[in-house]
Amino acid sequence: MALFPRGSSLGFFGAYGRSSDLRQLDDALRTFDVHPKLVPEPVKLTIAKFLKEDFGDEPPAVAFELAAELLCYCVVGANGFAGANGTPATQEVENRIEKSLLSGRNFDARVILLALHANIIQPSVIEMFGLESD
């Protein structure tokens, strides 16, 4: 572990590169057929923060994939996600959303709420699951 761990970073005028956690998240978004530019940088920084809170300073690759999968579903909706990733993956994400609505404060619920507050969630997802924020 580094003496001074590096936080998430967007880079600085091209002189410094993006932090590895943001690069991993960008790669995971591409895995689920969503271009990283469709997700605002503050949303990605917040997800990186959530990942570090839940999985420690060096989250495993699977954590980035789980976060990206859920976020991509929220961004493109059920039909878009199913078209790119198949019906089984879509049903799996929908089950995760249902479970997160029951528990209320887990990682998935925070990602969904973030997408809702950032206004990047498809209206069809909001309607399908009856999402709202207070």
Q: Where are the domains of the chain?
A: 20-129
The answer to whether 10 touches 18, Cβ cutoff 8 Å, is yes
Sequence length of the chain is: 134
pLDDT > 60? residue 14: no
Comparing C-alpha atoms, which of 13, 12, 65, 71 is closest to residue 43? 71
Q: What's the pLDDT at 26?
A: 97
Q: What's the pLDDT at 86?
A: 97
Model-level pTM greater than 0.85? yes
Report the alpha-carbon distance of residue 13 to residue 31 in Å, rounded. Answer: 27
The percentage of residues in the chain with a pLDDT greater than 90, rounded to a whole number, is: 81
Report the alpha-carbon distance of residue 4 to residue 73 in Å, rounded. Answer: 35
